[in-house]
């Protein structure tokens, strides 16, 4: 998914959106439009393909994404089954049926190929190289420039908590401060 920042960047989602729109347009024509039950079912299932891709993308884990891609494949199959019924009942001409069915097969292949690419050894999100956080970069610069270690609170895995951390005493040491007696005697001499 390098370069993909939003589900709308996914080719499978884009094609599913176009497919759903094309199916919707066919359901607006008679005699298809008069079969309200099939119209609702086919529009819901075709829209579900793109919705499951989008929802899976937003879930945050590779496992959940793959599960939702599986749901999208199931919705594509359901939509193709509805297309068969629409063709059998002569709601759509053979050429339109063939084009829509073929588009569904292409979408299913894209989704399955994407799923396979994520679970192959050495691929997918779980095998991305770890990136260093901005905070770690800043602390490394601090350590390099000052020669001091970062406080335990800012060391990953140290177990330190904010309550355990006490800020250093920044007041000047008493030895360096002139006493009031020393200050008054130096002015008298």
Q: Let me know whether 66 and 141 are in one domain.
A: no
pLDDT, position 120: 78
Q: Let me know whether 157 and 110 are in one domain.
A: no
On the question of a cis peptide bond just before residue 170, with omega within 30 degrees of 0, the verdict is no
In a domain, 15, yes or no: yes
Q: Let me know whether 153 and 109 are in one domain.
A: no
Q: Let me know whether 13 and 68 are in one domain.
A: yes
Q: Let me know whether 99 and 157 are in one domain.
A: no
Q: Report the CATH number that the domain containing residue 84 is assigned in CATH.
A: 1.20.1440.60
Retrieve residue 124's tokens: 């997918």
pLDDT confidence band for 1 (50 / 70 / 90): very low
In a domain, 47, yes or no: yes
Give the C-alpha separation, 97 to 86, whole Å: 8
In this prediction the pTM is 0.63
The residue among 114 and 137 whose pLDDT is bigger is 114
Q: Let me know whether 120 and 137 are in one domain.
A: no
Q: Let me know whether 77 and 119 are in one domain.
A: yes
Average pLDDT value over all residues in the chain:
82
Quote the number of domains for the chain: 2
C-alpha pair distances (Å), 39 with each of 22, 44, 99, 189? 13, 8, 18, 105
In a domain, 119, yes or no: yes
Instruction: Show the domain range for 15.
Output: 7-127
Q: Let me know whether 39 and 91 are in one domain.
A: yes
Q: Let me know whether 79 and 150 are in one domain.
A: no
pLDDT, position 142: 83
Q: Are 154 and 135 in contact (CB under 8 A)?
A: yes
Name the helix (H) or strand (E) containing 88. Answer: helix 62-88
The predicted-structure confidence for 34-67, as pLDDT tens digits, reads as follows: 999 999 999 999 999 999 999 999 987 888 999 9
Residues 75-94: what's their mean pLDDT? 96
Q: Let me know whether 106 and 150 are in one domain.
A: no
Q: Are 87 and 94 in contact (CB under 8 A)?
A: yes
């Amino acid at each position: 998914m390098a370069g993909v920042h939003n589900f709308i960047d996914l080719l499978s989602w884009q094609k599913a959106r176009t497919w759903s729109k094309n199916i919707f347009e066919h359901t607006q024509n008679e005699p298809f439009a008069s079969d309200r039950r099939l119209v609702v079912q086919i529009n819901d299932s075709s829209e579900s393909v793109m919705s499951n891709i989008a929802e899976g993308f937003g879930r945050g884990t590779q496992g959940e994404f793959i599960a939702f891609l599986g749901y999208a494949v199931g919705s594509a199959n359901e939509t193709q089954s509805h297309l068969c019924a629409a063709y059998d009942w002569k709601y759509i001409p053979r050429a339109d049926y063939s084009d829509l069915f073929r588009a569904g097969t292409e979408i299913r292949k894209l989704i399955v190929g994407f799923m396979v690419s994520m679970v192959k050894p050495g691929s997918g999100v779980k095998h991305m190289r770890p990136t260093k956080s901005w905070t770690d970069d800043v602390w490394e610069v601090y350590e390099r420039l000052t020669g001091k270690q970062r406080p335990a609170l800012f060391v990953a895995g140290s177990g330190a908590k904010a309550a355990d951390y006490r800020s250093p005493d920044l007041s000047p040491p008493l030895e360096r401060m002139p006493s009031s007696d020393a200050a008054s005697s130096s002015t008298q001499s």
